[in-house]
Structure 1
Amino acid sequence: MTLDLGRFPRVDLGGFPTPLQPAPRLGEAIGVPNLLLKRDDVHPLGQGGNKLRKLEFLLGAALADGADTVVTFGALQTNHGRQTAAACAKLGLRCELVLTAKVPRDGDAYERSGNVLLDHIFGANVHFCADGEETGRTYDRLLAEAAAEGRKVATFPVGGSNAVGALGYVAATAELAGQLAERGITRARIVAPHASGGTVAGLALGTGLLDESLALDVACVSHPAEEALESMSQLVAETAKLMDVGVPSLDHVHVDDRTMGEAYGIPREDTWAALRLFGRTEGVVLDPVYSGKAGAALVDWAAHGRFAEDEPVVFLHTGGSPGLYGYAPEFPG
Structure 2
Amino acid sequence: RDMAMDTNLIRCGLTAAFIFTVFGKLPVPQNVKMHTINFKNLLQWSPVTYHKGNVNYSVEYQSYYDKAFKKHAHFKKGCTSITMTECDLSILSVMVGYYLRVRAEYENETSEWAVIDEFEPSVHTEIGPPSVVVKPRLDMLDVNIIGPVNENNYKSMQEYFLDLAYKVSYWKVGEEEKVESINTNQKMTTLTNLEAWTTYCLKVEPVLHNRKTHPSSIVCGTTMDNGRAPVWQVIVTLLASICVVFGVTMGIFYSSHYIHRAVKHSFQPSYNLPEHIKEYLKEPSLTSQFLLPPPNMYEESFDKLSIISDIQQSFDNTNIDMNTNMEMVEKQP
Higher relative contact order (CA 8 A, sep 6+): 1
Work out which of the two has the higher radius of gyration on C-alpha atoms and give 1 or 2.
Answer: 2
Give your verdict on TM over 0.5. no
Higher share in strand = 2
Higher share in helix = 1
Shorter-chain TM-score range: under 0.3
TM-score normalised by the chain length of structure 1: 0.21
